[in-house]
Chains A and B, each alone.
Chain A
Amino acid sequence: MRCPARAHIAYAVWLHTQDGFGWTNGVALWLLERYAQSFARELREDGELGDLANQ
């Protein structure tokens, strides 16, 4: 199952190749590998998922 939070930030996979600030993207992805479920739950509770809430 796709995690909306992961999808929301994972555009960074592409950005990682685009310039020198892959570290922000890389760290975000590394953290999402470990905490995606709790982060998604937090976003849902905070109402910050926006259009992705129904994915």
Chain B
Amino acid sequence: MTVQPVYWTHYIAICLFALGLLGFLIRKNSIIVLMCLELMLNAANLILVELSMKNGTPDGIILVIFVITVAAAEVAIGLGIVLNLYRIKGTVELDAFRSLQG
């Protein structure tokens, strides 16, 4: 095997990001769309951790902590919006949300 594990992390992160992006584009359920956003953020976190540990500088770890905080905030406010939309429309399918001031 000539493939280094260094590159395997890149492959894993790219696969995670591609899966998250694909789910973000083709799924209709808004909760699953939010989950796919989490997948994309985690792919970025994996690259950051790998480069930070490889170079011996902890700056990437700090950035990962900030990303996790912002991801938690994003999920909380996104699910709040989904709850409100369900209260108004009675569904969470993205195709049902077509009107402004709905």
Q: Do A and B make up one complex? A: no
